[in-house]
Chain A
């Protein structure tokens, strides 16, 4: 059969859209190219060839390269890539369980939940040590999600209620954030502001390590749940009819999605619109089946964020824009375009 690539052995079998492998390879190569460019960019420019040599531990003329790349720039690029992956998978899952192409962690209030807690800490308790911030943000994302789920519960959770309540929660928490930014100390406000916008500035290996376990557990889990996402996308009745435990699956998927967003937000702040754009672009490339959509969206999200970080550092150099500004600048019009398209179907 030529529509799907089928893999079958005695123990396992699965299928994937035939477009997926080639798309993954191309996206991977583009991302790699952007990373190489990105690692060479900065106050101390390094040519891509030297970047590659340094990465592969081949001797270069300049002994500083190793430090600049491995200690300063590589963790930052990797973090940009990984939070992009996290946001993208999270958004793809949310779009599946809400059956709404406009759902994303930043639209339905999960990012806002993380932000409000993080901003409260930055503005109200500036003396709290830095390591508390990611934990607080992570907790905030979860509290927001639980609140949305409970408020949307009415003898069962319905996708449309999840979205509407989520949008409401987002609006409310954003109002609270505005109040804090208005009345806070100017120094802490500007720090909070950068955090809200989403930035990978100054991220090092110690920021990367706490993110990894989440991704290592949650990404395979999301892939295992892609079959369930496929049937949930057909509606609750159809999903129940083919034997899906709809409420349980939805909760499990929601937790996976929120944990991915939480871990990403905790690392880099709320890099906006990646969770919205990446699944969309991926769907255009490989179709709607989640087995192929999730990995494609993941790479797409990573690529977008790495590119946004590169653009943020080069467009107005030496002034540096947080990568969240770039993703929002592209993402907001994209969101409007999707809204427009949705209306005119």
Chain B
């Protein structure tokens, strides 16, 4: 997919673009994982990156969040290259929740959530009224107020993930990137976290970009689905428009039937195994 195409697709979804990549090449230890990628992420929408293990979707997310320096090309936040802006400036506009973050022993939820205020503080102003208010807001949105003084290691996986999301929320950025926010959670907690993110998008208009493992959850929650295989974008668009049996075959190497999700009306992928 070339630059014009992806821009056109994104424009069809929304007038505004939050993040753009131009000829982005990302590499780990010499081996390039993403090469020459042009991608536009629509503002105010939920974009979900899907693909098989090792296809480069997490790498791409880290690249979008400037956690990984590209070998070539760049990422644009609005119109400025993300690497030309100060990292603190970026952190006021873009938050990232990496996969499986680990908190130090004994850290309380409230203390963790307060760390999201880092980019808004300086040596003199370390705890403004706004900081305090944002932390309380983040705790309340994620329904963590009652657990705020508990230490993270005493919480369940779902509660812990909500605490980390609360930290990202207190950062108060227009764009929120999340790498597999539902891993290690049971099904009920997965839906709980996804509903929370959906509400954030709906009520506050935040741009959400996340990597999800589960294709059907991706179809249900995404406004814009980005299918990645071998470091390239294979398809991008509304799930209902791009999800086909051919796409699943190309991206996951899996035969499947696509039917309509009886609950959400979005595409539902039923895998076909070799035996049953």
Contacts and interface: CB of A to CB of B under 8 A. Distances in A.
Given A8-B129, A234-B101, A288-B111, A244 B66 contact: no
Nearest to B149: A3
A6 to B, nearest CB: 6
Interface of A: 1, 3-4, 6-8, 11-15, 99, 101, 224, 227, 230-231, 233-235, 237-238, 240-245, 283, 287-289, 291, 345
5 contacts: A13-B124, A227-B118, A240-B66, A241-B95, A243-B118
Interface in B67-119: 67, 86-92, 95-98, 101-108, 110-112, 114-116, 118-119
B127 A242 contact: no
Contacts of A243: 86-92, 118-119
Given A237-B98, A243-B88, A287-B111, A13 B128 contact: yes
A63 to B, nearest CB: 50
Size bracket of the B interface: 35 or more
B122 to A, nearest CB: 9
B115 to A, nearest CB: 5
A241 B128 contact: no
A6 B127 contact: yes
B65 interface: yes
B126 interface: yes
A49 to B, nearest CB: 42
A12 B124 contact: yes
Contacts of B123: 224
B111 A289 contact: yes
Contacts of A14: 126-127
Nearest to A237: B98
B125 interface: yes
A234 B91 CA distance: 16
Contact of A13 (B88, B110, B118, B125): B125
A241 B128 CA distance: 21
Nearest to B92: A243
Given A6-B132, A283-B106, A288-B104, A240 B87 contact: yes
Given A287-B108, A288-B106, A238 B127 contact: no
B125 A241 contact: no
A281 B12 CA distance: 59
Nearest to B96: A241
B88 A233 contact: no
Interface string B23-37: 000000000000000
Nearest to B116: A242
B251 to A, nearest CB: 26
Nearest to B29: A155
Nearest to A239: B118
Contacts of A233: 104, 107
A99 B108 CA distance: 16
A242 B132 contact: no
A235 B101 contact: yes
A231 B126 CA distance: 13
A288 B107 contact: yes
A102 to B, nearest CB: 12
